[in-house]
Amino acid sequence: MSRTFELLQRLEKEQELTAPTAPVHAPASLQAVPALEPTDHHSLLHRMGEEEVVKLVQRVFRAADGPHVVTFSAVQHGEGTSWMCSSAAMTLANQVNASICVVDANLRTPSLHRYFGAENRLGLSEAVVQAGPIRGFAQQISGSNLWLLPSGVTGSQSLSPLNSEGLRVRMNELRTEFNYVLIDAPPANLYADAITLGRLSDGIIMVLQSNSTKRETALKVKESFEAAKVRLLGAVLNKRTFPIPQGIYEKL
């Protein structure tokens, strides 16, 4: 846990050193974007975001005896959890010959289906209350080894599925059916869903946003994970506005 604490300290220093400018958001889609000049600021941010994802996949999922079911959760809204989770899933799918399922468990504000250009008519919300194999509620992405389990259409109307026994059953089924499962959870500082999902997975990755996430709030969330006996796999810094020295990544 001390390594995550050190990363939070680095985050605080960055907040102090960086001028207060409007935050630059991560790409709204994972589809290809036109090539930009190397000096373009948005292009630089995009490349740094991709580097962050590659390092995350290597250190967490490709490590010996690494976790196979991982929950992603930000501290608060708008910190890029869905982008980070979907990007990690696509990166991992390109590196391994294994089945991967990315799950949208953010029932209040689902968005993963938009990243993949998929429909959200059937998904997790239906799976926990209806019978049938879990793959019947998921969608395979372009014939690849990557699958998407959207939130489902009832997600915005009922949040009870995340507190049901059906969720536990489906999580066990996901673990059996797929080699890797990546879960997009709601912000941990606002809802208890991240802890619920963290208990059913192998651990949680905290998504911190450069120039936005408050160190005190992040530490509070970290402590709530520890109190709930949820394993904190690490933290990843998203939307950073200048390169971070390689040594800092070693703190993950």
173-231 per-position pLDDT tens digit = 999 999 999 999 999 888 889 999 999 999 999 988 876 678 888 889 999 999 999 99
User: pLDDT confidence of 20, banded at 50, 70, 90?
Assistant: very low
Q: What is the mean pLDDT of the chain?
A: 77
Query: Which tokens go with 248?
Result: 């800092």
Res 90 pLDDT > 90: yes
Domain span at 184:
2-17+40-249
Reduce the DSSP state of residue 244 to 3 states and report it. Answer: coil
- Identify the pLDDT of residue 153: 83
> In this structure, is residue 148 part of a structural domain?
yes
Count the neighbouring beta carbons within 10 Å of the beta carbon of residue 172. 13
CATH of the domain at 71: 3.40.50.300
> In this structure, is residue 120 part of a structural domain?
yes
> In this structure, is residue 34 part of a structural domain?
no
CA distances from 34 to 23, 111, 198, 245 (A): 22, 23, 37, 28
Sign of the torsion angle spanned by Cα atoms 117, 119, 120, 126: negative
> In this structure, is residue 179 part of a structural domain?
yes
Res 11 pLDDT > 70: no
Query: Which tokens go with 81?
Result: 């959890």
> In this structure, is residue 171 part of a structural domain?
yes
> In this structure, is residue 22 part of a structural domain?
no
Query: Which tokens go with 11?
Result: 């985050």
Query: Which tokens go with 56?
Result: 């995350």
The count of structural domains within the chain is 1
